[in-house]
Amino acid sequence: MAATGMFEDRYWEVYAHRSSHVRSPPELASGSWSAAGGAPSGPWARHIGTALHGARRLLDVGAGDRRWAELLPRLGVQARYLSCDPDRRHDHDHDDFLAVAEPFDAILMLDLLEHLPAQQGIAFVDHAAELLPPGGALVISTPNPAHPTSFQASDFTHIRPWPAHDLFGLCRSAGFSDVRVHRIQHVDGRLRRALVPVQRTLSRLIGVDPADHLLLVAIL
């Protein structure tokens, strides 16, 4: 009962911050933004590169194949890269994020929270706030549950949708002072880009979001 009560209390803390969330306009991104060779471009590169500028030590939580170890230097991020993931197929520095005790200037949780139960996702964000110094950055990406297909269709292991206002409220309740949620719409090809105004108009009419991903940057 105590654990249930704590979870309910946290819900109301998150809920109290939701009204402060300001919905951002959707930003167009290409699926080839991180293609090999040259500097990545587009909103992913812009927001992540800005958030991590000046970081000296960075932890990638849910790092998978450690692809960001190669991408971050191409964004101009010179931080020492460490990874955390229970996956045994790759050489990670940590396998249990909640057991990590060393400090970091920035923490990545990219396409991670949707794979976790709600209470574990909350614990991850709270622990990130404990490991970061004032001015430290937490970067989260997740499928946008307001998009008609993004959350369910992209991966069968997704168990927990995180609406933009709840992500915002969660990070604010964890102590992050500057929280921004960017709505990312992936569009490839000239024809699809030409149809973006029509798609966005139709999305408004039927009450769905054309942006398929959310990218949150939270500064402690």
pLDDT tens for each residue of 90-131? 999 999 999 999 999 999 999 999 999 999 999 999 999 999
Please answer whether residues 158 and 151 qualify as being in contact, where contact means their C-beta atoms are separated by less than 8 angstroms: yes
Kindly state the tokens that stand for 130. Answer: 């404990």
Q: What is the pLDDT of residue 37?
A: 62
Rounded average pLDDT over 22-27: 92
CA gap 144, 170 in Å, rounded: 16
pTM: 0.91
Say what the pLDDT of residue 124 is.
97
pLDDT at 31 over 90: no
Q: Are strands 26-29 and 137-143 parallel, antiparallel or unpaired?
A: unpaired
Confidence of residue 1 (pLDDT cuts 50, 70, 90): very low
What's the chain's average pLDDT?
90
pLDDT for residue 144: 95
Q: State the Cα angle at 125 between 89 and 219, rounded to 5°.
A: 110
pLDDT of residue 177: 94
3-class DSSP state for residue 69?
helix
